[in-house]
Chain A
Amino acid sequence: MLRREGFDGAITIIGDEPHQPYDRPPLSKQLLAGEWEQDRIALSDDESLQDLGADWRLGRRAAGLDVANRTVTLDDGSTVAADGILIATGARCRELPTNGLDGIYTLRGLDDCLAIRAELEDSPQRVAVVGAGFIGAEVAATARERGLEVTVIEALPVPLGRVLGTEVGTVCADVHRDHGVDLRLGVGVDGFDGHGRVERVNLSDGTSMDADVVVVGIGVIPNTEWLEGSGLELDNGVVCDETCLAAPGIAAAGDVARWPNRLFGEIMRVEHWDNAIAQGQHAALRLLASDDEAQPYAPVPWFWSDQYDRKIQLAGRARPDDEVRIITGSTEERRFAALYGRAGRLVGVLGFNRPRHVMKYRNLIEQGTSFEEAIKIAEQE
């Protein structure tokens, strides 16, 4: 974006992974399934990366930030000073204590994916997935499609119930059961047992189950530790203003950024692929703009999840206490679209294999359409 806008100064890119930029969504889908190889997930070809003319510092961690002097200190002690700094350190997986056992994984990066994939190719007897959120659900689906026995353990009584509400969350649960997943709801994990390698998962209801591979998908934590003491406000992410600015000349974007989205009147942090791109672009523009020119960042968040042959998409902000209305299809056929309303406004749309509806109502959310009006439009369709 900076280059596209004509910025021809120096750009330094610091990243602690040794890999060139890659796409994460396939890590729980095509790459884990073995349908794709690593070369398919590169975000750019070598030529476009060259054209950026950037100074790449890969395999290097940013260890500290001097806000006043706009200087980043790296883990090798070197420093990079800049007129503009973009914080995009993303998030990492929340973990469970593994009791020192092998065979227990989380999934965030390419190396995690390849390690889990090698395990799945080794014909395990049973895979346990802890957490039925989107990542856990996708890993379970991919493992089932490989013909493996899968148990999913979820502490909530309804998977994704806190996001999508009971009715839609129940459909998500049913989709797993349709495909032969052993789904244990309302139980947590107390710990793991085994000899060197995991053999058993101990559950909070006092029972235990056998598993020789465990994938834990219980949410992520924004990577802000390196900013502690910098003076930036940290609160479940880097706190920014409406324009994605965290301090003069310092912006944040992606999974790590928290900002007030005026469209929803809510301070949010969004862990979606599309937002990482859109907010990254917005933040880049912000760094080039004067304070007077700066625009607020007020998108309708959007994301997708692929599970079995279902494509689930959610645009906007759904909450369990929202009013939910199915506007097309039915939950029985697992193909439907649902609208979410709050305080008289359309705030979210969820689709199970209904991409066109999701985009249509996403636009209506952006326009501030009332819930009543949206239902009326749906009835006329």
Chain B
Amino acid sequence: MGYRVVVDYDLCESNAICMQVAPDIFEVRDDDFLYLLNETPGDEARERVNESIQRCPKQAISVAEE
């Protein structure tokens, strides 16, 4: 049982809040788009992923359990 990080790019406005919380998972690059560096960061990162979900002002991040 793992999980996958999902970003709804229609909602995301690239404000990089998630990148502040978890720079190893989320990166906003020079083109001002958000890139997911790691879709399956594993259990040890779960807390930071949750924090990103909560802090994203656009509610653009979610996780799919799989």
Contact = CB atoms under 8 A, between A and B. Distances in A.
14 contacts: A273-B57, A274-B55, A277-B54, A277-B55, A304-B15, A353-B32, A355-B15, A356-B28, A356-B29, A356-B30, A358-B16, A359-B15, A359-B19, A363-B20
Contact of A359 (B13, B20, B55): B20
Interface string A261-301: 00000000000011001000000000000000000000000
Given A274-B17, A311-B13, A359-B16, A354 B32 contact: yes
Contacts of A363: 20
**What is the size category of the interface that chain A forms with chain B?**
10 to 19
A358 B59 CA distance: 20
A355 B16 contact: yes
Interface string A301-315: 000101000010100
A25 interface: yes
A311 B59 CA distance: 16
Nearest to A303: B57
Nearest to B27: A356
A274 B54 CA distance: 10
Given A355-B16, A358-B15, A363-B20, 17 more contacts: A23-B59, A273-B57, A277-B54, A277-B55, A304-B13, A304-B15, A304-B57, A306-B13, A311-B13, A354-B32, A355-B13, A355-B15, A356-B14, A356-B29, A356-B32, A359-B17, A359-B28
A223 B2 CA distance: 45
Contact of A356 (B16, B54, B55, B59): B16
Nearest to B20: A359
Contacts of B32: 353-356
Interface string B2-25: 000000000001111101100000
Contacts of A359: 15-17, 19-20, 28
A interface, by DSSP: helix, strand, loop or mixed? Answer: helix
Contacts of A25: 57
Interface of A: 23, 25, 273-274, 277, 304, 306, 311, 313, 353-356, 358-359, 363
Contacts of A274: 17, 55, 57
A273 B58 CA distance: 11
Interface of B: 13-17, 19-20, 28-30, 32, 54-55, 57, 59
A167 to B, nearest CB: 23
A363 B57 CA distance: 18
Contacts of B19: 359
A354 B19 CA distance: 15
A359 B27 CA distance: 11
A313 B15 contact: yes
B27 to A, nearest CB: 10
Nearest to B13: A311
A306 B17 CA distance: 16
A273 B19 CA distance: 18
A32 B59 CA distance: 18
A311 B15 CA distance: 9
A313 B13 CA distance: 11
Contacts of A311: 13, 15
Contacts of B13: 304, 306, 311, 355
B50 to A, nearest CB: 9
Contacts of B15: 304, 311, 313, 355, 358-359
Contacts of A277: 54-55
Nearest to A354: B32
A370 B15 CA distance: 24
B20, B30, B57 — most chain A CB neighbours (10 Å): B57
